[in-house]
Chains A and B, each alone.
Chain A
Amino acid sequence: CMGPSMLPTFNMDGDIVAIEHLSKRYKRLSVGDVVVCISPVNPGRAVCKRILGMEGDHVCEDPTLREVERKYIDVPEGHVWLSGDNLSNSNDSRTYGPVPYGLIRGRVFARVWPDPGWIANNFLPYTSYP
């Protein structure tokens, strides 16, 4: 992994992660998974981002904008919406739009180095606030 877009989950440089390919093949990816996919802007490059919306979901395009400026979008069929954890410095679906599912290469399930540990999907189901 390289780049600041997934801080603090991954460092800017030098992290080695483990990827599994079974989830994408059997359609077990879900919102909140960290995935590696081929960049839509540069086919020779891979990017590491988190899935924020699967096909059919209604996602907020840019949560860093103020409430009144936010736009919402429906993720089209066969696409996913990717987002880096470090929203202040991340080139993700806010820049290049929804990404076709066919570009995803695998799901990151563990960090091997420098701090070995599982990478979990920490997203909780949405419950409305009282």
Chain B
Amino acid sequence: MTSRLWSNPNARAAIKTLTWFPLLFFFLENGYSTATVQGRSMQPTFNPDSNKLSPDIVLLSHWGAIGHKFQRGEVVAMTSPHNPDLTITKRIIALEGDSVRPLPQSDQKSVVYVPKGHCWVEGDERFHSRDSNAFGTVPMGLINSKVVYILWPLSRFGKVEVKPNVERVSAGSVDSMRL
């Protein structure tokens, strides 16, 4: 019976196409994928014009996030600590071992020490962003991928810049005695 299926050229073409699906799925899960950015929290980097009808489309890299090695100033996509169904895009401001001064409108302490395995994230638009100023440091295990390229609109096509913030962060080395 299987040889009858194989002798039908249409069925053969269909089966040969289907064998690519697992590879494609693996690539999209673990390599690169695209996503649309909703909301204003990352203005002006994404969605700078709130009146536009089409939100930005960006390229996410999952490879880059697997090693958990991030730089200060990178934009990442992570699962929201308060709503596990939501993926949020924010910029990493501080890594483990650093001391951050939260923004004035947050109700955090005046200086926050980022513990091991955690990071401090903020949206570029400080007044429209629910970020670490609201919920504190987040574990790095929640980060899914790095946002590397803007794909749409074509006028802003290009790499997403890494913008470290040196004003409110004092970088420290991870000191095992303080953990």
Contacts and interface: CB of A to CB of B under 8 A. Distances in A.
Interface of A: 38-44, 76-79, 99-103
Interface of B: 68, 78-84, 115-118, 138-143
Contacts, number: 49
6 contacts: A38-B141, A78-B83, A100-B84, A102-B79, A103-B139, A103-B142
Given A44-B68, A103-B141, A39 B117 contact: yes
B85 to A, nearest CB: 9
The 8 A-B pairs at the shortest CB distance, nearest first, are namely A102-B79, A38-B141, A40-B139, A78-B82, A43-B141, A101-B84, A100-B81, A41-B117
Contacts of A99: 139
Contacts of B141: 38-40, 43, 103
B79 A100 contact: yes
Contacts of A103: 139, 141-142
Majority-rule SS of A interface residues: loop
B136 to A, nearest CB: 10
A33 to B, nearest CB: 15
A78 B78 CA distance: 14
Contacts of A38: 139, 141
A103 B140 CA distance: 9
A102 B117 contact: no
Nearest to B117: A41
A38 B144 CA distance: 12
Given A39-B141, A76-B82, A79-B82, 9 more contacts: A38-B139, A40-B139, A41-B139, A43-B140, A77-B83, A78-B83, A99-B139, A100-B138, A102-B79
A40 B83 CA distance: 17
A38 B84 CA distance: 14
Nearest to B83: A78
Contacts of B83: 77-78
Contact of B117 (A43, A76, A78, A100): A43
Contacts of A79: 81-82
Contacts of A42: 116-117
